[in-house]
Amino acid sequence: MSVQGAIDYGSRRIAYTATFAKRSTMAISVLPDCTVEVTAPVGTDQGELERRLRKRARWVCRQIDHFQQFTPRTPPRRYVGGETHLYLGRQYRLKIVAADSERIRLIGGYFIVELPDRLDVNRIKGLLEGWYRSKADLRLRERFEHALPTFERLGCIKPLLRIAPMQRRWGSHSASGAITLNPDLIRAPMACIDYVVVHELCHLVEPNHGERFVSLLTRLLPDWKMRKQRLEQAML
């Protein structure tokens, strides 16, 4: 169940979406697209929810202002020669080559896409997206396995890992313990991927974003704030 609403803070109006879950505390998040999400315990009155949101309104506005400084965002991709595309934080130019068969290679600073029809934009897009999916499945699982032993030493049981698209999140941790990573992370620097992986694994120990969660994340990844900011700047 979810509800939508808005509060006023000075001259600003803060719209939010609230969802309710089996938890003891309320969490307020500002996503990179400047939307505000509130996760509250089941049974929380909307008036109480908005009272708590007003107490955090100054912080919410600061977060929104932070994300807005990175607009305008990267324009939609056209999948034509010379256009740049990200992979692990680096920009690569797209080079379209006529060939009898289809394949993609990463050579030097180029994505070289070979296919019979150099003007078939939809096919070029499909080939590149397929390449990204395969790399995401491989690399994100590698980074998950790399980080996992630290949490196993903390007594955590290895969670189910899913690689699946998400509209507004880089990662998530479900009530059942499963972790989902957004395949678009493959475009981000490796340090940023590791930040998201460790962030979600920390939820195995601390489900909420409280002080103990921040303390654990800081102990395991002291520069997480820098990595988080780098992710936001690179991927907007």
Cα–Cα nearest to 106, from 116, 114, 118, 117? 114
Residue 161 belongs to some domain of the structure? yes
- For residue 39, what pLDDT is reported? 92
Residue 73 belongs to some domain of the structure? no
Specify the higher pLDDT residue, 1 or 136.
Answer: 136
Q: Are 47 and 34 found together in one domain?
A: yes
- Distance (Å, whole) CA 171 – CA 33: 15
- Distance (Å, whole) CA 236 – CA 170: 12
Rg (CA), the chain: 20
Question: What is the DSSP code (8-state) at residue 18?
Answer: E
Query: Would you tell me how many other CB atoms lie within 10 Å of the CB of residue 187?
Result: 21
For strand 36-41 and strand 161-163, is the pairing parallel, antiparallel, or unpaired? unpaired
- Among residues 26, 44, 68, the one where a domain terminates is 68
- Distance (Å, whole) CA 6 – CA 130: 40
Q: Are 145 and 160 found together in one domain?
A: yes
Per-residue pLDDT tens digits for 115-131: 999 999 999 999 999 99
Residue 78 belongs to some domain of the structure? no
- For residue 77, what pLDDT is reported? 82
- For residue 23, what pLDDT is reported? 86
Residue 110 backbone dihedrals phi, psi, to 5 degrees: -130, 140
Q: Residue 173: which H helix or E strand, with range?
A: strand 171-173
Q: How confident is the model at residue 160 (pLDDT cuts 50, 70, 90)?
A: very high
Query: Total structural domains in the chain?
Result: 3
Strand partners for 186: none
Specify the higher pLDDT residue, 182 or 67.
Answer: 182
Residue 110 belongs to some domain of the structure? yes
Q: Are 129 and 142 found together in one domain?
A: no
Q: Take residue 135 and report the two structure tokens written for it.
A: 């790399």
Residue 192 belongs to some domain of the structure? yes
- Distance (Å, whole) CA 191 – CA 77: 25
Q: Residue 37: which H helix or E strand, with range?
A: strand 36-41
Q: What is the mean pLDDT of the chain?
A: 90
- For residue 115, what pLDDT is reported? 96
- Among residues 20, 40, 68, the one where a domain terminates is 68
Q: Are 224 and 166 found together in one domain?
A: yes
- Expressed as residue numbers, the domain containing 120 is 84-133
Q: Are 149 and 163 found together in one domain?
A: yes
Per-residue pLDDT tens digits for 1-51: 678 899 999 888 999 999 988 888 899 998 877 889 999 999 899 999 999
Residue 213 backbone dihedrals phi, psi, to 5 degrees: -65, -50
Q: Are 55 and 127 found together in one domain?
A: no
- Distance (Å, whole) CA 41 – CA 27: 9
Q: Are 125 and 208 found together in one domain?
A: no
**Strand order across the beta sheet in which 2-9 lies:** 2-9, 12-21, 36-41, 27-30
Query: Would you tell me how many other CB atoms lie within 10 Å of the CB of residue 139?
Result: 18
Per-residue pLDDT tens digits for 203-236: 999 988 889 999 999 999 999 999 998 888 776 5
Residue 75 belongs to some domain of the structure? no
In one-letter notation, the amino acid at residue 30 is V
Residue 195 belongs to some domain of the structure? yes
Residue 20 backbone dihedrals phi, psi, to 5 degrees: -120, 135
- What CATH number should be reported for the domain holding residue 174? 3.30.2010.10
Q: Are 91 and 164 found together in one domain?
A: no
Q: Are 147 and 210 found together in one domain?
A: yes
The pTM (predicted TM-score) of the whole model is 0.73
- For residue 167, what pLDDT is reported? 81
Per-residue pLDDT tens digits for 62-112: 988 877 765 445 567 899 999 999 999 999 999 999 999 999 999 989 999
CB-based contact 220:202 (threshold 8 Å): yes
Query: Would you tell me how many other CB atoms lie within 10 Å of the CB of residue 203?
Result: 21
The answer on pLDDT for 55 being more than 90 is yes
The interaxial angle of helices 190-202 and 224-235, nearest 10 deg, is 120
